Amino acid sequence: MTESWATFGTDLHLDTSGSTGLRAGLMDALREAVRTGRLAPGTRLPSSRSLAADLGMARNTVADAYAELVAEGWLTARQGSGTRVARRAEPRRSATRVVRTRPAGARPVHNLRSGSPDLATFPRTEWLKAARRALAAAPHDAFGYGDPRGRVELRTVLADYLARARGVHADPERIMICAGFAQALKLMGDVLRKRRVRDVAVEAYGLFLHRDLLRDAGLRLPCLPVDGFGARTGELAGMRGVGAVLMTPAHQFPTGVPLHPDRRAAAVDWARATGGLILEDDYDGEFRYDRQPVGALQGLDPESVVHLGTTSKSLAPGLRLGWMVMPERLVGEVCEAKGVSDWSSSALDQLTLAEFIASGAYDRHVRAMRLRYRRRRDQLVAALAERAPHVRVSGIAAGLHAVVELPPGTEPAALRAAAWQGLALEGLTRFRHPDAEPERDALVIGYGTPTDSAWAGALDALCRVLPPEPEPEPEPEVGTWTGTA
């Protein structure tokens, strides 16, 4: 039986052109591959028989080339181990580019940045079980390109979960699975631009990354003020030309306040009256502690709100799994935009998440993490009350971060002190819209980010960088008047 060339072992690309003679060309190509590091020390080379068949050479030619390179010290050959690149053969280092690694002392020792959960708590065992069940039950078409909206199994499970947990009116046909929130927002930016929307209002405080994604779509981003009741949605009616608004109604990021019911109603009234769209970022709606859950804004008017969610806070951002629940009028346009640029997250990851939710593992994980994060929140509040009673903590009824109010003008100094302590920290100023008026100095503390073993050290470092209590203003001296009336 004739053996197929496709059954031979390791693939090895070699350019043997430019040399006189087959053996000389092969030796030059192998030396160059080793010299440049493309073949690392210890790499096992194909057998002479396999490489000869691959290159269309005689086996003796390859064997002779190997033998000569062994003699030169480029390769080694041992019985039972095959032919390998010699360990002492170091790749040539570029003389034109020097890469310097950052000093170890410059890396943060502790991390209290917002935006990430405790990655060490990812439910590996339960996720693996769900992945095995999902893979065993996966239909053959799961390995094809499929629907740009994503796997119907996940969309169906999500529709039920979002209705139950977040009050979202969802139909699987109107759900789009995306590679995280960023892709969903980029798609909406492209669709809005094609709809001739030019201005999208954004909250005075929010992630600059989200503003950049919309700006890259060619949209202008007027600033919607934020106060202690959330975004001032009553001002939307006076913002001429605005066709959509990006909001965080359940838990304003980063100030941490929920949108007041009157302002929720005002936002929906504006959308109905103008035909505008509300882009609802429900980034951590599952985590609440001292209040009743605030349902999704989408429940008030599913035809005016695009509900955007993700697993980045509840599970891990590395999964790159998010979704949007769209008004019916947008489904075709968003599918067209997504089908052109990207065919979604891995189908197997989608099927795994569907199984993870359907089995109840997702609910159990969220409840467990809610308790864990609440303990951290309580420890943060207690430590500040003991060691820095002059600072006020806000935005703590829900979510994975808190806002620590600072005396006016002290935020820059606190951030410099944090860098000196090796503490990664963000100030409220970082999240302010360029057109928003500076209102207050504060730190945004991401208490979900550290692992359990790092949490105590991060909390201690935070307390050390907070500014001291301001000295009280001296009372004016009261003089003695000795004159006469």
Same domain, 357 and 383: no
Same domain, 214 and 300: yes
Coil, helix or strand at residue 205: strand
Q: Where among 328, 362, 396 does a domain terminate?
A: 362
Same domain, 148 and 280: yes
Domain count, the chain: 3
Residue 43's Cβ-count burial label (10 Å; 0-12, 13-18, 19+) is: middle
Q: What DSSP character marks residue 142?
A: G
Here the tokens at position 190 are 């492209």
Same domain, 298 and 312: yes
Q: For residue 480, is it within any domain?
A: no
Q: For residue 103, is it within any domain?
A: no
Query: Which pLDDT belongs to residue 341?
Result: 59
Contact 111, 419 (CB under 8 A): no
Q: For residue 478, is it within any domain?
A: no
Torsion of CA 53, 58, 62, 67, to 10 degrees: 140
Domain harbouring 41, CATH code: 1.10.10.10
Domain harbouring 278, CATH code: 3.40.640.10
Q: What residues have CB less than 8 Å from 297, skipping those under 6 apart?
A: 247, 249, 250, 259, 264, 267, 268, 278, 280, 305, 307
Q: What residues have CB less than 8 Å from 2, skipping those under 6 apart?
A: none
Coil, helix or strand at residue 432: strand
How many angstroms separate the Cα of 9 from the Cα of each of 4, 33, 332? 11, 19, 47
Length of the chain: 485
Q: For residue 61, is it within any domain?
A: yes
Same domain, 187 and 250: yes
Handedness of CA 385, 388, 390, 394 (dihedral sign): negative
Q: For residue 471, is it within any domain?
A: no
Q: What residues have CB less than 8 Å from 354, skipping those under 6 apart?
A: 134, 151, 153, 154, 156, 157, 158
Side-chain-side CA neighbours of residue 61 (13 Å): 17
Query: Residue 42's domain spans which residues?
Result: 12-85
CB under 8 Å, gap of 24 or more: what pairs does 389-394 form? Answer: 389/469, 390/468, 390/469, 390/470, 391/466, 394/255, 394/256, 394/257
Same domain, 269 and 370: no
Q: Where are the alpha helices (DSSP H) in 15-58?
A: 22-35, 48-55
Q: Where among 298, 331, 362 does a domain terminate?
A: 362
Query: How much is the pTM?
Result: 0.80
DSSP string, 331-399: HHHHHHHHHHH---S-HHHHHHHHHHHHTTHHHHHHHHHHHHHHHHHHHHHHHHHHH-TTSEEES-SBS
Domain harbouring 424, CATH code: 3.90.1150.10
Query: Which pLDDT belongs to residue 52?
Result: 87
Give helix 22-35 / helix 59-72 axis angle, nearest 10°.
50
Q: Where among 362, 394, 428 does a domain terminate?
A: 362
Same domain, 25 and 134: no
Q: Rounded to an integer, what distance in angstroms lies between the CA atom of residue 44 and that of residue 42?
A: 6
Q: For residue 264, is it within any domain?
A: yes
Q: For residue 211, is it within any domain?
A: yes
Torsion of CA 170, 171, 173, 177, to 10 degrees: 40
Same domain, 333 and 405: no
DSSP string, 439-466: --EEEEEETTSS-HHHHHHHHHHHHHHS
Here the tokens at position 183 are 């892709």
Q: Rounded to an integer, what distance in angstroms lies between the CA atom of residue 420 and that of residue 405?
A: 21
Same domain, 262 and 167: yes
Query: Which pLDDT belongs to residue 89?
Result: 46
Strand partners, 203: 224
Same domain, 67 and 144: no
Q: Rounded to an integer, what distance in angstroms lies between the CA atom of residue 30 and that of residue 475?
A: 85
Pick from 398, 396, 369: nearest CA to 381: 396
Q: Rounded to an integer, what distance in angstroms lies between the CA atom of residue 377 and that of residue 374?
A: 5
Same domain, 21 and 57: yes
- Tens-digit pLDDT string for the chain (485 aa): 444 434 445 678 887 776 667 888 898 889 988 888 888 898 888 988 888 888 888 999 999 999 999 888 899 988 777 899 998 645 444 444 433 433 445 578 999 999 889 999 999 999 999 999 999 999 999 998 888 899 999 999 999 999 999 999 989 999 999 999 999 999 999 999 999 999 999 999 999 999 999 999 999 999 999 999 999 999 999 999 999 999 999 999 999 999 999 999 999 999 999 999 999 999 888 888 877 778 899 999 999 999 999 999 999 999 999 999 999 999 999 999 888 656 668 999 999 999 999 999 999 999 999 999 999 999 999 999 999 999 999 999 989 999 999 999 999 999 999 998 899 999 999 999 999 988 899 999 999 999 999 999 999 999 999 988 776 666 666 554 454 43
Same domain, 368 and 356: no
Q: For residue 134, is it within any domain?
A: yes
Q: Where are the alpha helices (DSSP H) in 142-202?
A: 152-166, 181-194
